[in-house]
Structure 1
Amino acid sequence: MMGFSVSDELLGTVAPIVVYWLYSGIYVALSSLERYRLHSKAEEEEKNLVSKSAVVKGVLLQQVVQAAVAILLFTVTGSDAEADIAQQFSLLVLTRQFIIAMIILDTWQYFMHRYMHHNKFLYKHIHSQHHQRPDLHAGWLQWTDPRTRAHHALSFLISGMSPRTSIFFFSFATIKTVDDHCGLCLPGNLFHMVFKNNSAYHDVHHQLYGSKYNFSQPFFSVWDRILGTYMPYSLEKREGGGFEARPTKEFKDD
């Protein structure tokens, strides 16, 4: 009987997409837990400007493009089987590649994200759609937002990771990004313990008062702190259940 095998390139293309829907589905199922929500269901109905079906269609469209870019990237770069095997057994190499890729992701995200807010044309025609749901919930990610495709390619190329390593890194990055947009503050969430850049941090950015702050994503808040776009906040319990990320000082809208 012939064995069935799936190439690393195919897994590297498909795995982050599958992980996205699985992890988003978990948060959709948990969204009824009002005591952990950053926005109440009533507030969600009042503020949201686009339907969830439109979000799903937008995400599917982006993922088609994302898959096409991944296939092209793997085809152009090729794969060195011996080098891939060597990387698997070198924890130092894998750690270095993960750190470099995380830095590239954060750097590209910050500067492109900030530029999309300050460029009126790009914000109006592209990035504003990402802000049509001020309340964050799983599934509302980079809809019609080209940042993901470009920074994934750069992270892969500059870090020198293999297609097999990319399966794990980009699945991890996808999980982290879904978590940032889940709209929940769950007890024991490891991402909230390890990373200061979390769902509350990004929720501040999605509010009108914070749209010019907290651009950093998905891992660290370094660029916001260095370049003066960090908005400190406190996580307060909201009357009626849930939490609210409240700024701890006033900022001017530049």
Structure 2
Amino acid sequence: MELVLSDELLGTFVPIIVYWLYSGLYVILGNLDSSGEYRLHPRSEEAKNIVSKLQVVKGVLVQQAFQIVVALCLFALVKDDSQTARPQPPLLVVLAQMVVAMLVLDTWQYFMHRYMHINKFLYKHVHSKHHMLVVPYAFGALYNHPLEGLLLDTIGGAISFLASGMSPRTGIFFFSFATVKTVDDHCGMCLPGNVFHMLFGNNSAYHDIHHQLYGNKYNFSQPFFVAWDRILGTHMPYKLERRKEGGLEARPAKD
């Protein structure tokens, strides 16, 4: 009996599988980098994190459970029940839809993320959970309060999907790409030849600034571009320097 998975099911579960595979790759790379040459923080600084890695894994799984429910509901909402399968649009249309989705997701996450810092109640009771990771690492990318995960990532993803008009098949690739980008931004490493660092100003070093006390009110943009930070004056540029004891450090720099 042949098992055929629909685009809707693939769009729901593939990004979750990608999350753990890609973050697992960074765990391996981190172990291979025993000297910490490419780490943004010495291993000893992980003691600053006030949540265990087991708690992080549990927290991410809770968020992904919400993500599955919303994704299935979303795909059910847009599903075409006719007998004729809707053809995929031309490649240029697909690429345009991906760009629109990126811009919409960036806009949603910037303003929601920034508001969670401005609103003292939301920061204390919701967003501060993510900032328990002062020294971010890859599989902690989606470690949030469930409400924040629902608002920023899950609903933000649903809005970008609907606004762009993409099909569930395109959604498989878009959400997988967004997942990889988010994991990469939290990986805590700057590896040579990293294509995300070449193509995006918003990367692991940029976001690491935000996780430090001095950068807490800057670099809200995620996961793709830094446009809203630049437009609204919350952009803190960085310079990447070698630490004397080895490894890398992202330090604030003049714009």
Q: What is the TM-score with the length of structure 2 in the denominator? A: 0.93
> Residues of 1 paired with 2:153 and 2:232: CA distance?
22
> Residues of 1 paired with 2:86 and 2:28: CA distance?
38
> Residues of 2 paired with 1:52 and 1:220: CA distance?
29
Letter in 1 for 2:37: R
Tell me the CA shift for residue 101 of structure 1.
0.2
> Residues of 2 paired with 1:229 and 1:25: CA distance?
32
Give runs of aligned pairs for residues 212-223 of structure 1, distance below 5 A: 212-223=217-228
Match of 1:42 in 2: 44
| Aligned length, in residue pairs | 246
Match of 1:248 in 2: 253
Q: 1:181 to 1:191 in 2, by over 3 A?
A: same
Tell me the CA shift for residue 84 of structure 1.
3.9
User: 1:79–1:162: 8 Å Cα contact kept in structure 2?
Assistant: no
SS in 2 for 1:234: strand
Q: Percent identity?
A: 63
User: 1:84–1:164: 8 Å Cα contact kept in structure 2?
Assistant: no
> Residues of 2 paired with 1:80 and 1:193: CA distance?
42
Tell me the CA shift for residue 23 of structure 1.
0.2
Deviations 1:156-203 (A, max 9, x none): 100001111100000000000000000000001001001110000000
Match of 1:86 in 2: 88
Unaligned runs of 5+ in 1: none
Q: What is the TM-score with the length of structure 1 in the denominator? A: 0.94
Tell me the CA shift for residue 79 of structure 1.
3.0
Unaligned runs of 5+ in 2: none
> Residues of 2 paired with 1:139 and 1:133: CA distance?
11
> Residues of 2 paired with 1:133 and 1:155: CA distance?
27
Letter in 2 for 1:58: G
> Residues of 1 paired with 2:88 and 2:132: CA distance?
46
Tell me the CA shift for residue 83 of structure 1.
6.8
Letter in 2 for 1:132: M
Q: 1:76 to 1:189 in 2, by over 3 A?
A: same
Deviations 1:12-34 (A, max 9, x none): 00000000000000011112321
Deviations 1:100-142 (A, max 9, x none): 0000110001000000001011111111010001111111123
Match of 2:194 in 1: 189
> Residues of 1 paired with 2:130 and 2:208: CA distance?
12
Tell me the CA shift for residue 241 of structure 1.
1.4
